[in-house]
Structures are given as C-alpha cells and as structure tokens.
C-alpha cells in the first residue's frame, strides 16, 4: 500500500530534478522505458495508438493543473515517444535515448 501511494505521488508531482542528476535518470527511464516502452513490448506497436495521446493529455494536465514546467512536460513526453517508437519500429534508434539521458545527466551534474 505504501509503495502504491509513493507511485501515485510520484506520478502526480511534476519534477524536473534540476539539481539531481540521478533523479533525472530515474525519472526519464521511468517515462521512456516503463511508460513508453513496456506497453509496446507487451502489446506491440498498436499500444502507441492509446499511449501517445493518453500520455500527452496527462503531461498537459500536469503542466496546467499541477503547476508543472512546460519544458519539463515536453522533455518527458519526447523521451516517452522516442523510446516507444524506437522499440516498436527501430530498436537501433535507442542510441538517441542514451544520448538524451547522458545530456540531461550532464546538464544537472554541471558538466
């Protein structure tokens, strides 16, 4: 029960992890691989028909109703879509996911 409450709070609280490089990595791995990629691995590319619009609505809601940062919502959505599409259609493109994670980590770590 405590873990489910933790996940709910995590999902409902916008966070860019500006000063936390490892938090950024965990956050984006969650967005890209768990939310974006896992449904594609389970149900195939057609999962994107539901997940992309559904996740876009969720990010707009976080931005508008939960005082999220616009750029953070776009960043989360972009990585979500990148990984989902890459798993569905071009696994080689996952290199761009790794580059995205590296750039976000580097920014937050002050590299």
Higher pLDDT, 9 or 100: 100
For the stretch 20-69, pLDDT in tens is: 888 888 888 888 988 999 999 999 999 999 999 999 999 999 999 988 89
For the chain, domain boundaries: 21-109
* CA 84/CA 31 separation, integer angstroms: 10
Please identify which residue in the block is written with the tokens 């965990």: 26
pTM here is: 0.77
**The pair of three-digit structure tokens given for residue 91, joined into one six-digit string:** 């696994």
pLDDT at residue 98, as a whole number: 85
* CA 17/CA 60 separation, integer angstroms: 19
Please identify which residue in the block is written with the tokens 């976000």: 104
Q: How far is CA 57 from CA 20, 21, 41, 83, 106, in A?
A: 26, 27, 22, 18, 29
* CA 94 from centre of chain: 14
Percentage of the chain lying above the pLDDT 90 cut: 49
pLDDT at residue 55, as a whole number: 95
Please identify which residue in the block is written with the tokens 């990984």: 83
Q: Band of the pLDDT at 102, cuts 50, 70, 90?
A: very high
């Amino acid at each position: 029960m405590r873990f489910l409450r933790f996940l709910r709070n995590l999902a409902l609280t916008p966070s860019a992890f500006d000063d936390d490089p490892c938090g950024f990595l965990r956050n984006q791995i969650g967005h890209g691989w768990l939310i974006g990629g896992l449904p594609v691995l389970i149900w195939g590319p057609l999962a994107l028909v539901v997940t992309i619009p559904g996740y876009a609505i969720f990010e707009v809601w976080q931005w508008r109703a939960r005082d999220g940062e616009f750029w953070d919502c776009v960043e989360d959505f972009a990585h979500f879509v990148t990984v989902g599409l890459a798993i569905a259609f071009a696994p080689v493109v996952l290199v761009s996911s790794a580059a995205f994670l590296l750039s976000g980590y580097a920014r937050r770590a002050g590299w």
